[in-house]
Amino acid sequence: MRSGLSLADYARKAVSENPEVIEALMEFERSKRVPKTTYRKRIDVTVDESILRRFKELCRRQGIPVSRAIERLMIVSLRKQP
């Protein structure tokens, strides 16, 4: 651990930054099943066909799924909010 944190400090930081992961580990310990920590939702949208075709091609060249590219654009838009 290059940050100079002790193992205990590092663990406390991890727990405070990722409570959902800790909850998932506790659930696994209890049930021996790994619960989902993130959920995805299918949506329907209507967009211009030529734009969609070009966007799909861009995503194919970059090697990322269209849904992940759209998700990234949504995150950028949300971060711009005041």
pTM above 0.85, yes or no: no
- Average pLDDT along the chain: 86
- Would you state the torsion angle of the CA atoms of residues 40, 46, 51, 57, taken in this order, to the nearest 10 degrees? 40
**Residue 1: per-residue pLDDT:** 45
pLDDT interval class at 2 (50, 70, 90): low
How is residue 11 written in tokens?
């663990």
CB 37 within 8 A of CB 24: yes
Taking only the tens place, the pLDDT of each residue in 47-63 is 999 999 999 999 999 99
pLDDT interval class at 46 (50, 70, 90): very high
How far is Cα 69 from Cα 45, in angstroms, rounded to an integer? 15
